[in-house]
Amino acid sequence: MQRIVFFICFILLTAVLFGTGGREPESVEITGVVRLVGNDPFTRYALRGDNGKDYFLEFNTDTDAARFLGKRVTVTGTVEIRELKSADGKYTVKEAMLKVLAIRE
């Protein structure tokens, strides 16, 4: 009986580990202009890429992002698509978050 339980747990754990892909998101490099979007106090930094897409910037460190406002920069990071739903579930919006690893002018 213990062998069966152990085998089932092993199979489930293996499926969870390999089912998620088990790999890190790929790093991308996007060039564009840094903007400030939203209304105070809910402002966020965004990058308008050369491809016309907007990416909300998420900094992992205490980067002084304000010094890049209005400037053309190249950002290296990982992109994550987040899906936001309204409270009643009727509306869905997708936004691209760019987790910044490096930023340079």
* 19 lies in some domain: no
For 33, how many CA atoms within 13 A lie in the half-sphere containing its CB?
6
SS3 55: strand
Higher pLDDT, 31 or 24: 31
CATH assignment of the domain containing 98: 2.40.50.140
Instruction: Give me the domain span that covers residue 74.
Output: 25-104
pLDDT at 75: 92
What's the structural domain count of the chain? 1
* 3 lies in some domain: no
* 78 lies in some domain: yes
Does the structure show a pLDDT above 90 at 72? Answer: yes
pLDDT at 23: 60
pLDDT in tens, 29-57: 999 999 999 898 888 999 999 988 999 99
Confidence of residue 7 (pLDDT cuts 50, 70, 90): low
Tell me, what amino acid is at 40? D
